[in-house]
Amino acid sequence: MRLFSNEIPPACQYCKYGFITRDGRSVLCEKKGVTSPFTSCRRYRYAPLKRVPKRPRALPAFDKSDFEL
């Protein structure tokens, strides 16, 4: 998934109006108050800079025999 993909599910943690608390368990929403980070409401607006993409998978370790014919 890319950063600006349309396949990103709506979540309050990525919303323009939501701010994650210090403990990371809830979101302080300007419109709804305290909510869960994984829910969304009808006022949801995606803010791409709030999203932290998942780390890419580590590459497997290769040795010299993998490149021989």
Residue 29, domain extent: 7-48
CB atoms under 10 Å from CB of 16, counted, come to 14
Q: Give the model confidence (pLDDT) of 28-66 as tens digits.
A: 999 999 999 889 889 999 888 888 777 888 888 988 888
pTM: 0.62
Please check whether residue 21 lies inside any domain of the structure.
yes
Please check the confidence at residue 17 and state whether its pLDDT lies above 90: yes
Comparing CA positions, the residue from 55, 54, 30 lying closest to residue 41 is 30
User: Is 26 part of any domain?
Assistant: yes
2 occurs within a structural domain: no
Q: Are 18 and 29 spatial neighbours (Cβ–Cβ below 8 Å)?
A: yes
Domains identified in the chain, total number: 1
Structural domain contains residue 1: no
Cα(34)–Cα(41) distance, integer angstroms = 12
pLDDT of residue 51: 81
